[in-house]
Amino acid sequence: MSNYLLIGIGVVVLLYLFMRFIPLGAWIHARLNDVPVSFLSLVFMCWRGIPVMPVLHAMIRLKKANIDVPLRELEMLYLEGESLQDYVDKKIADKK
């Protein structure tokens, strides 16, 4: 009985770590919105300390406005401390 308890705890800890450091939900969200982001790009973003969801939401808004901006550019803007929302709003306004 004790072995099963340890195995169960180990499985729960591994699942938590997997979901914490591997952005599977963000990748599915990107796929459902037709945003061309690879799974590994999202993983590397997490490892570099870049929050995935704000960058992904910016890419989705740009994609829906038919504006192609590379993921790397949005990452660099975030790291420079610029507002992704302001950048996206400016890009969309410039297109109109």
- In the chain, which residues have pLDDT < 50? none
The pTM assigned to this predicted structure is 0.75
Residue 68 makes CB contacts below 8 A (sequence gap 6+) with 62
pLDDT, tens digit (0-9, with 9 covering 90-100), for 24-51: 888 888 999 999 898 889 888 888 889 9
CA-CA distance, 92 to 87, in Å (whole number)? 9
pLDDT for 1: 63
What per-residue confidence (pLDDT) applies to 21? 72
> Which among 41, 30, 37, 91 has a CA at the least distance from the CA of 66?
91
pLDDT value at position 62? 93
How far apart are alpha carbons 61 and 33 in whole angstroms?
10
What's the residue count for the chain?
A: 96
Residue 18's pLDDT is 77
Domain extent listing, the chain: 23-95
